[in-house]
């Protein structure tokens, strides 16, 4: 797995350029979940027209639901037949809004959480509580004109495509990607020929690293040759929502690429990503143990480095002029500046790994929740078998599954957007980690815990309750790579 590139991360502070700038809207409510999908499909102006009502602004949820249903049908009529939508079914939408499946207070609390996350992402015009009062002036009624005010904060939509989040490569992209993959393979050849470079990065593990480079290259070319089965991408641009830069699985020899990489928006970035992901395909031991540039990256032990996909980026980055390390040689226990690793370096590295694992797991949990919602919409009877796990997730991530009446029976789009929000929040917290001041504690474990708490508080919108947030983060880390 790889996080989004820093290039993309850096744009996060500029909301107008955020790849998924319209995404947070999908958090807000179930009818709004539909509204955001409409927005993606039709564009802002058309969505505003679809949602505009002639009755002064206040309609019941049932009326709004009916309008969204009609609008959704319009999207369906206008779209190419192969396209699919992550919209709730009309019956699901209706039952959520009016049918009492989820207690009203739970729905409102979920929306409040989502609004706080929106506020943390890009400034809301008022506080979350004010928006709540405006959106829900009284029980069972929501104010559409107030809603369009919130929609109006996101005029510059970038979320144009409604293609599926796990799609085969388009022929034009595949041709470009084949070309880039060949260049990645040639780059790997150069790295393998660079014995001094291999020694400088991997030390005593240089020979093992060289062997893995060879396997990575073979696996990459094999995957490209069988791209319909071995590679998929995210034309829906869901990945930027959760900070994902791609992933690869050794057992299945499968690679998932972000839309930007699949479309080769940046050639060097695509080469580096392909090498990172194909390193995962070289050996079961090549995992993620610290992303490129993370705290303590250059000081890691040799067994850790040879088992860390991001370390296979360093030699290619040097060839491309994209290395961040001034030093030519990585020495275990030494920083790039040549100094011995300090207490602070250890604390920062420990916290960095904790935050990375929490995010990685949150992305996997979201994939499980979203996939289950999709399976159920497709008619698959999967809920009962997955129920224990779903209830566990729902409680700790503050979704709404466990609150369903008379008993939990399904996964709604509201849960999918809430779990997306947790994954997105953990991505934000991971990036805030290195920016936290060093805690004062002289005990390593205590200092790590303080640093983690500080990053969680800095984001401030994961769940809205610090103790619950830390419990959630610990739960995510404990579940890292445990499957479902």
Enumerate binding residues for Zn ion (CB under 5 A). 1-2, 288, 309
Q: Cα–Cα distance between 476 and 465 in angstroms, integer?
A: 16
Which is nearer to Zn ion, 165 or 309 (by Cβ)?
Answer: 309
Supply the minimum distance, in Å, between the C-beta of residue 249 and Zn ion. Answer: 10
Which is nearer to Zn ion, 5 or 404 (by Cβ)?
Answer: 5
Tokens of 207: 């020979």
User: How many residues are present in the chain?
Assistant: 484
Which is nearer to Zn ion, 2 or 239 (by Cβ)?
Answer: 2
Using CA atoms, how far residue 377 sits from 78, 226, 319, in Å, is: 21, 29, 48
Supply the minimum distance, in Å, between the C-beta of residue 8 and Zn ion. Answer: 16
Find out whether 453 and 466 touch, Cβ atoms under 8 Å.
Answer: yes
Supply the minimum distance, in Å, between the C-beta of residue 280 and Zn ion. Answer: 6
> Which region holds residue 291: left if phi is over 0, alpha if psi is between -120 and 50, else beta?
beta
Supply the minimum distance, in Å, between the C-beta of residue 356 and Zn ion. Answer: 10
Supply the minimum distance, in Å, between the C-beta of residue 421 and Zn ion. Answer: 23
Which is nearer to Zn ion, 20 or 245 (by Cβ)?
Answer: 245
Instruction: Give the 3-state secondary structure of the chain.
Output: CEECCHHHHHHHHCHHHCCCCCHHHHHCCHHHHHHHHHHHHHCHHHHHHHHCCCCCCEEEHHHHHHHHHHHHHHHHHHCCCCCCCCCCCHHHHHHHHHCCCCCHHHHHHHHHHHHHHHHHHCCCCCCHHHHHHHHCCECCEEEHHHHHHHHHHHCCCCCCCCCCCCECCCHHHHHHHHHHHHHHHHHHHHHHHCHHHHHHHHHHHHHHHHHHHHHHHHHHHHHHHCHHHHEEEECCCCHHHHCEEEEEECCCCEEEEEHHHHCCCCHHHHHHHHHHHHHHCCCCCCECCCCCCCCCHHHCCHHHHHCEHHHHHHHHHHHHCCCCCCCCCCCCCECCCCCECCHHHHHHHHHHHHHHHHHHHHHHHHHHHHHHHHHHHCCCCCHHHHHHHHHHHHHHHCCCHHHCCCCCCCCCHHHHHHHHHHHHHHHHHHHHHHHCCCCCCCCHHHHHHHHHHHHHHHHCCCCCCHHHHHHHHHHHHHCCCCCC
Supply the minimum distance, in Å, between the C-beta of residue 225 and Zn ion. Answer: 22
Supply the minimum distance, in Å, between the C-beta of residue 313 and Zn ion. Answer: 10
Which is nearer to Zn ion, 292 or 330 (by Cβ)?
Answer: 292
Tokens of 294: 């993370």
Supply the minimum distance, in Å, between the C-beta of residue 417 and Zn ion. Answer: 26
Supply the minimum distance, in Å, between the C-beta of residue 352 and Zn ion. Answer: 15
Supply the minimum distance, in Å, between the C-beta of residue 1 and Zn ion. Answer: 4
Supply the minimum distance, in Å, between the C-beta of residue 279 and Zn ion. Answer: 8
- Cα dihedral across residues 145, 151, 157, 162: positive or negative: negative
Q: Cα–Cα distance between 382 and 220 in angstroms, integer?
A: 34
Which is nearer to Zn ion, 262 or 309 (by Cβ)?
Answer: 309
Residue 417, number of CB atoms within 10 A of its CB = 30
Supply the minimum distance, in Å, between the C-beta of residue 193 and Zn ion. Answer: 24
Which is nearer to Zn ion, 33 or 290 (by Cβ)?
Answer: 290
């Amino acid at each position: 797995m790889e996080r989004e590139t820093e290039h993309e991360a850096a744009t996060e502070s500029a909301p107008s350029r955020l790849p998924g700038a319209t995404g947070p809207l999908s958090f807000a409510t179930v009818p709004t979940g539909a509204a955001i999908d409409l927005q993606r499909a039709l564009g802002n102006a058309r969505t505003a027209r679809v949602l505009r009502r002639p009755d002064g602004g206040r309609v019941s949820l049932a009326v709004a639901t009916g309008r969204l249903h009609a609008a959704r049908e319009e999207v369906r009529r206008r779209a190419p037949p192969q396209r699919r939508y992550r919209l709730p079914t009309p019956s699901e939408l209706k039952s959520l809004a009016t049918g009492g499946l989820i207690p009203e207070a739970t729905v409102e609390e979920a929306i409040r959480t989502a609004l706080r996350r929106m506020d943390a992402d890009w400034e809301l015009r008022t506080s979350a509580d004010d928006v709540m009062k405006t959106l829900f002036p009284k029980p069972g009624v929501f104010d559409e004109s107030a809603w369009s005010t919130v929609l109006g904060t996101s005029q510059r939509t970038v979320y144009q495509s409604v293609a599926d989040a796990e799609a085969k490569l388009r022929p034009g992209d595949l041709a470009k990607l084949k070309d880039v993959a060949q260049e990645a393979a040639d780059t790997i050849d150069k790295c393998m020929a660079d014995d001094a470079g291999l020694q400088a990065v991997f030390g005593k593990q240089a020979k093992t690293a060289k062997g893995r480079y060879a396997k990575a290259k073979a696996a990459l070319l094999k995957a490209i040759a069988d791209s319909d089965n071995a590679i998929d991408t995210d034309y829906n641009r869901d990945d930027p929502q959760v900070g994902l830069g791609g992933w690869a699985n050794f057992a299945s020899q499968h690679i998932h690429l972000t839309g930007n990489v699949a479309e080769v928006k940046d050639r060097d970035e695509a080469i580096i990503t392909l090498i990172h992901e194909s390193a995962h395909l070289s050996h079961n031991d090549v995992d993620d143990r610290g992303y490129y540039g993370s705290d303590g990256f250059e000081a890691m032990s040799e067994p850790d480095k040879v088992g860390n996909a991001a370390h296979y980026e360093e030699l290619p980055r040097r060839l491309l002029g994209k290395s961040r390390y001034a030093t030519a040689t990585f020495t275990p226990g030494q920083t790039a500046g040549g100094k011995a690793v300090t207490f602070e370096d250890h604390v920062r590295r420990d916290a960095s790994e904790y935050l990375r694992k929490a995010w990685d797991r949150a992305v996997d949990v979201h994939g499980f929740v979203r996939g289950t919602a999709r399976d159920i919409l497709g008619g698959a009877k999967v809920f009962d078998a997955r129920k224990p796990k779903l209830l566990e997730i729902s409680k700790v991530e503050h979704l709404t599954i466990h609150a369903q009446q008379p008993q939990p029976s399904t996964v709604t789009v509201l849960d999918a957007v809430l779990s997306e929000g947790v994954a997105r929040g953990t991505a934000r917290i991971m990036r805030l980690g290195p920016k936290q001041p060093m805690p004062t504690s002289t005990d390593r474990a205590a200092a790590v815990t303080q640093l983690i708490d500080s990053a969680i508080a800095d984001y401030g919108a994961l769940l809205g309750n610090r103790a619950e947030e830390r419990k959630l983060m610990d739960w995510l880390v404990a579940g890292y790579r445990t499957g479902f």
